Structure 1
Amino acid sequence: MANPARAAALVALAKLWDQGCPIASPDDRERLVDIGFRRWDSFHRRHPRIRQPPHEARIHDLVRGLVEAVEPEPRMVGPLVKDYECVAEVIAAAASLPREP
């Protein structure tokens, strides 16, 4: 059985690519979803003192994780971070769907 959350994330990334998002490249989509879901799921383990994090904090954390995993020089991302924010939003939306282990 296909994982609906993963499928939704891949479709959303394809739409972002069609809209001109350079981060959602077909070559990197699987990796972005893997990294994004892992980062999303580990938020509370990495931030145990934040019981009810605002959505924006989780998105910011996800963006940071994606940038660190994908970019060779994360500190040099600059305005491209807006594209990472779009990717993070669609991954976060898909992460809320039921997932298989």
Structure 2
Amino acid sequence: MPEPTRAVALAALTELWEQGCPIASPHDRDRLVDIGLRRWHSFHRRHSRIGQPSQEARIRDLVRGLVEAVEPEPGLVGPLVKDYECVAEAIAKAATSPLREP
């Protein structure tokens, strides 16, 4: 994955952590970014029947992937899902930013 994209995502999660998001912990940040970017970029392969998905649909899919990868019992996440949504939105923004490797 392009390093500038990864760096932008890591910086965004660092900012979320500083704002109080418990999911963006420094201990899990690299893992969240790797999982999130991989999930974001594999969306079309996993959902080939969807023509032009909305940004919201892609973010919901990203939230689901993050929860499933991180939580031991994903069905019990409850209100904490809002924090996963913030993380997913930050990763999606990094993945769609115009930054590209030279």
Please give the range of the TM-score, normalised by the shorter of the 2 chains.
Answer: over 0.9
The code of the aligned residue for 2:36 comes to: G
Other-structure match for 1:45: 45
- CA distance in 2 between partners of 1:85 and 1:91 (Å): 10
Question: What is the deviation of 1:16?
Answer: 0.3
The code of the aligned residue for 1:68 comes to: E
Query: Is contact 1:9-1:90 (8 Å) kept?
Result: yes
- CA distance in 2 between partners of 1:28 and 1:51 (Å): 33
- CA distance in 2 between partners of 1:44 and 1:28 (Å): 26
TM-score by length of 1: 0.93
Question: What is the deviation of 1:99?
Answer: 5.2
The code of the aligned residue for 1:56 comes to: E
User: Matched residues, percent identical?
Assistant: 76
Unpaired runs of 5+ in structure 1?
Answer: none
Q: Does 1:29 align with 2:29?
A: yes
Question: What is the deviation of 1:14?
Answer: 0.4
Other-structure match for 1:60: 60
- CA distance in 1 between partners of 2:32 and 2:96 (Å): 16
The code of the aligned residue for 2:24 comes to: A
Aligned alpha-carbon RMSD (Å): 1.3
- CA distance in 2 between partners of 1:10 and 1:41 (Å): 17
Question: What is the deviation of 1:96?
Answer: 1.3
Other-structure match for 1:95: 95
Aligned residue pairs total 99
Other-structure match for 2:72: 72
- CA distance in 2 between partners of 1:99 and 1:44 (Å): 20
Query: Is contact 1:6-1:99 (8 Å) kept?
Result: no
TM-score by length of 2: 0.93
- CA distance in 1 between partners of 2:100 and 2:74 (Å): 29
Unpaired runs of 5+ in structure 2?
Answer: none
Other-structure match for 1:7: 7
